[in-house]
């Protein structure tokens, strides 16, 4: 916030108008506070909504959201008597917690429809991590405002690489708790990189900017009649499996069909369980097939999730499922059949570039994939290329590569997932 820079500690920061006509004139006037709030693209009536105000200070934004019907949780890393005083004068029911933003991950507060993250970002040593935590706590929209370096000149700088100044000591306004000064474009980019689907600039001027960070895509526009892209495959960018960890910094790689000759990545609208995922990269793969990478939306609850894709002017295509935080568990595994993928001869395989072993296994969990399954032939672990869907008998085909390093001869075959292992009843012969 520009207005608190150089502001001495002590006294009131926010202004208030209390029942009975008492006025408190703080450092920031009521007019400015109301002007800031009026920019927020959130409903005027917040009845039934949960609001989290991080860095509440004296609490004007907390009490304003409560006045509008919200159930509010206010958080600050320091306890302020001024907050408690207004809380009591107003008979507020706001839940006041003394917590650092970095402790909110494990505070068990649940999710909030709207999160206020006002004037806090530039105070954080780890701003992107702070925004990721804010994103994970948000169901709809977070309001993020910050000190910025180019509030008056950002338009002229459009197209330039986003920048962030770093203040190691007291370079910014002589204060030790100011760490960063992002440019306006950097502030918006940080919000998207943290996992918000969209960053909408509400205001920039002087050394201040305000951004609405939306977790959902805008509604499909009326009359949107483009064919939906056909989502083919969705995998974890790190291991090509279908399992993801909600706590990790994880990315989705998606293949899809789209008949367009030209496609800009900004037209893609991927969502996971209703949360939009910003696109990072797009390229044409082959013909009508494209491949794109997206960040996994932060804060997903454990379970199977539908991933859906649309374009800016199309509806969504059919979903593809991914597993989030589901441990791969099997009761028992049985290896039903084994053959060489090139020779198709039973229990025999040719090693080398195209040497592939196909194994049919019963008992695999739905979220078995090429990363959490393990296939051992003799002493070596084989790299898995493919895990098929269950056939009529419930067995799934696994294709694994047999390298030239495997000695010709007869070997034990073992399949494992989690703690459960199955050993094939026959030996598998590596032929030369």
Give the pair of three-digit tokens for residue 88.
Answer: 């009591």
Q: Select from 69, 71, 89, 100 the one that contacts ligand SAM (CB under 6 A).
A: 100
Q: How far is the CB of 375 from ligand SAM (least distance, A)?
A: 47
* List 74, 94, 118, 272, residue binding ligand SAM (CB under 6 A): 118
Our finding on whether 78 is near ligand SAM (CB under 6 A) is yes
In the complex with ligand SAM, which residue's Cβ is closer, 100 or 226? 100
| Cβ proximity to ligand SAM, 1 vs 330, nearer residue | 1
Pull the structure tokens for residue 76: 């600050």
Q: What is the DSSP letter of 404?
A: T
Q: State which residue, 76 or 369, has the beta carbon closest to ligand SAM.
A: 76
Q: Based on CB atoms, which residue is closest to ligand SAM, 41 or 315?
A: 41
Among 16, 9, 10, 14, CA closest to 27: 14
Q: How far is the CB of 117 from ligand SAM (least distance, A)?
A: 8
In the complex, least distance from residue 100 CB atom to ligand SAM, rounded to whole angstroms: 4
Angle at 315 between CA 310 and CA 317, to 5 degrees: 60
| Pairwise CA distance, residues 68 & 34, whole Å | 13
Q: Is residue 265 classed as helix, strand or coil in its secondary structure?
A: helix
Contact between 209 and 203 under an 8 Å Cβ cutoff? The reply is: yes
The answer to the question of residue 119 lying near ligand SAM (CB under 6 A) is yes
Residue 174 corresponds to which tokens in the numbers above?
């002589």
Taking CB under 6 A as the criterion, the residue among 16, 40, 57, 112 binding ligand SAM is 57
The Cα 317–Cα 257 span in angstroms is 10
Q: Which residue is at the shortest CB distance from ligand SAM?
A: 55
Q: Is 55 in the site for ligand SAM (CB under 6 A)?
A: yes
Q: Is 203 among the residues that bind ligand SAM (CB under 6 A)?
A: no
**Buried-state track 365-399, b at ≥16 Cβ within 10 A, e below 16:** bebbbbbbbebbbbeeebebeebeeeeeeebbbbb
Beta strand 348-349 with 428-430: parallel, antiparallel or unpaired?
parallel
Cβ closest to ligand SAM, residue 13 vs residue 290: 13
* Comparison of 8 and 78: residue with beta carbon closer to ligand SAM: 78
Strand partners, 230: 257
CB 397 within 8 A of CB 358: yes
Tokens of 32: 């400015």
Q: Does 1 bind ligand SAM (CB under 6 A)?
A: yes
Q: Does 123 sit near ligand SAM (CB under 6 A)?
A: yes
Least separation, in Å, of the C-beta of 14 and ligand SAM? Answer: 6
Shortest Å, Cβ 182 to ligand SAM: 15
Instruction: Confirm or reject binding of residue 76 to ligand SAM (CB under 6 A).
Output: yes
What DSSP assignment string belongs to 314-342?
B-----EEEEES-----S--EEEEEEETT
Q: Is 77 in the site for ligand SAM (CB under 6 A)?
A: yes
Task: By CB under 6 A, tell whether 120 contacts ligand SAM.
Answer: yes
Cβ-based nearer residue to ligand SAM, 4 or 66: 4
Give the pairing type, strands 409-411 and 413-417.
Answer: unpaired
Quote the distance between the C-alpha of residue 123 and its chain's center: 22
Contact 364, 350 (CB under 8 A): no
Cβ-based nearer residue to ligand SAM, 64 or 150: 64
Window of 50-58, 155-163, 213-221, 335-343 that interacts with ligand SAM by CB under 6 A: 50-58
Please, which contacts does 75-80 make with residues 24 or more away whose CB atoms are closer than 8 Å?
Answer: 75/99, 75/101, 75/104, 77/101
4, 132, 267, 369: residue in contact with ligand SAM (rule CB under 6 A): 4
Asked whether position 271 contacts ligand SAM by CB under 6 A, the answer is no
> Dihedral (C-alpha) 41, 15, 82, 133: value to the nearest 10 degrees?
20
Q: Which is nearer to ligand SAM, 141 or 314 (CB)?
A: 141
Interface region with ligand SAM, contact rule CB under 6 A, candidates 38-46, 113-121, 257-265, 305-313: 113-121
Contact criterion met (CB below 8 Å) for 122 and 179: yes
Nearer to ligand SAM, 29 or 345 (CB): 29
Q: By the criterion CB under 6 A, which residues form the site for ligand SAM?
A: 1, 4, 54-57, 76-78, 100-101, 118-120, 123-124
């Amino acid at each position: 916030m520009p207005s608190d820079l150089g502001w001495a500690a002590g006294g009131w920061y926010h202004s208030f108008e209390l029942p009975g006509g008492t006025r408190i004139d703080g450092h920031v006037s009521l007019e400015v506070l109301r002007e800031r709030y009026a920019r927020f693209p959130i409903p005027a009536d917040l009845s039934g909504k949960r609001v989290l105000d991080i860095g509440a200070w004296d609490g004007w934004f907390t009490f304003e959201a409560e006045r509008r019907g919200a159930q509010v949780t206010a958080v600050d890393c320091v306890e302020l008597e001024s907050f408690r005083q207004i809380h009591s004068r107003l008979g507020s029911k706001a839940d006041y917690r003394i917590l650092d933003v970095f402790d909110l991950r494990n505070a068990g507060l649940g999710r909030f429809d709207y999160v206020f993250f006002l004037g806090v970002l530039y105070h954080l040593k780890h701003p992107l991590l702070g925004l990721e935590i804010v994103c994970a706590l948000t169901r709809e929209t977070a309001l993020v405002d910050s000190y910025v370096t180019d509030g008056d000149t950002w338009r002229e700088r459009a197209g330039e690489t986003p920048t962030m100044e770093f203040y190691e000591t007291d370079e910014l306004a002589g204060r030790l708790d100011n760490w960063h000064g992002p440019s306006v474009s950097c502030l918006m980019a940080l919000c998207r990189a943290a996992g918000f689907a969209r960053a909408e600039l509400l205001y920039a001027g002087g050394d201040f900017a305000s951004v609405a960070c939306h977790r959902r895509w805008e509604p499909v526009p009326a009359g949107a009649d483009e064919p939906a892209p056909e989502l083919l495959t969705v995998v974890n960018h790190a291991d090509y499996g279908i399992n993801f960890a909600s706590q990790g910094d994880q990315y989705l790689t998606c293949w899809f069909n789209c008949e367009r000759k030209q496609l800009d990545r900004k037209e893609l609208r991927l969502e996971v369980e209703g949360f939009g995922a910003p696109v990072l990269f797009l390229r044409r793969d082959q013909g009508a097939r494209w491949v794109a990478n997206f960040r996994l939306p932060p804060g997903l609850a454990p379970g199977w999730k539908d991933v859906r894709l649309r374009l800016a002017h199309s509806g969504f295509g059919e979903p593809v499922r991914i597993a989030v935080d589901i441990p791969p568990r099997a009761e028992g595994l049985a290896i039903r059949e084994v053959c060489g993928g090139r020779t198709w001869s039973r229990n025999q395989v040719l090693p080398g570039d195209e040497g592939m072993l196909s194994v049919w296994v019963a008992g695999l969990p739905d979220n078995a994939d090429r990363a959490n399954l393990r296939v051992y032939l003799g002493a070596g672990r084989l790299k898995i290329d493919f895990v098929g869907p269950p056939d009529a008998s419930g067995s799934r085909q696994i294709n694994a590569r047999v390298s030239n390093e495997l000695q010709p001869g007869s070997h034990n075959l073992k399949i494992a997932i989690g703690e459960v292992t199955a050993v094939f009843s026959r030996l598998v012969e590596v032929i030369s």
